[in-house]
Amino acid sequence: MERRHFLALWTLLFAPSLKAMSPMKPTPAQTEGPFYPVKRIPLRENLILQPDGLVGEPIVLQGKVVDTSGNPVFGIKVEIWQCDGQGIYDHPNQSSNERFDPHFAGFGASITDKNGRYLFQTLYPVAYGSRPPHIHVKLWRGDKELLTTQLYLKGNTGNEWWGGKARDYLQFEPIKIDNRLTGEFTFVIT
């Protein structure tokens, strides 16, 4: 057997297992922003309080939390917060917050199950001011904050100078599943 054939076979046999052993990159952090809720964020997976009259389009945001080896992580609290369909946050420092859509909760939390899965019923994110559409996220293990970041719609990350290249790794692409708009994102934590 020629040496190059031997090396090609060696690569085919062992390259996939080497790739599986290489660690995954942790999800990049992003700023918390000025509108982190001042109220305690309750365990609430459904942020749509009343579909009738809701400003905006509902979306399911789901995914997993895994470690850098790809193993699911159980018991992680995943918090999300975002503006309503008009671009207004439920926050006292937000101008026009008295117009916040009462059909939408604005924030909630979910605990990952044994498979590391989380799920939210929320709003399709919208732009406001110069900000691209996004959803804020914070992950906790007990009282320890593990990650604060933001999720963006695929191909719609804006051109703000801060946040830069990290946004390439913080995108999800909404698709229709069973006639429901759904986005999926996997968080990798250390």
User: Rounded to an integer, what distance in angstroms lies between the CA atom of residue 37 and that of residue 127?
Assistant: 19
**What's the pLDDT at 153?**
96
- Would the pLDDT of 18 be above 50? no
User: Rounded to an integer, what distance in angstroms lies between the CA atom of residue 174 and that of residue 182?
Assistant: 5
Dihedral angle sign, alpha carbons of residues 132, 189, 119, 19: positive
- Would the pLDDT of 122 be above 80? yes
Cα distance between the two ends of the chain? 44
**Whole-structure pTM value:** 0.87
The amino acid at residue 33 is G
- Would the pLDDT of 163 be above 80? no
- Would the pLDDT of 79 be above 70? yes
pLDDT tens digits, 123-156: 999 999 889 999 999 999 999 999 999 999 999 9
3-state secondary structure of 21: helix
Q: For residue 112, what are the contacts with CB-CB under 8 A and spacing of at least 6?
A: 64, 65, 72, 73, 74, 75, 76, 78, 118
Convert 24-45 to b/e letters by CB count within 10 Å (16 or more is b): eeebbebeeeebebeeebeeeb
Compute the average pLDDT of residues 15-39. 82
Tell the burial category of 5 from Cβ atoms under 10 Å away from its Cβ (0-12, 13-18, 19+): exposed
pLDDT confidence of 20, banded at 50, 70, 90?
A: low
Residue position matching structure tokens 């996220």: 137
% of the chain with per-residue pLDDT over 90: 80
pLDDT confidence of 9, banded at 50, 70, 90?
A: very low
Mean pLDDT of the chain: 90
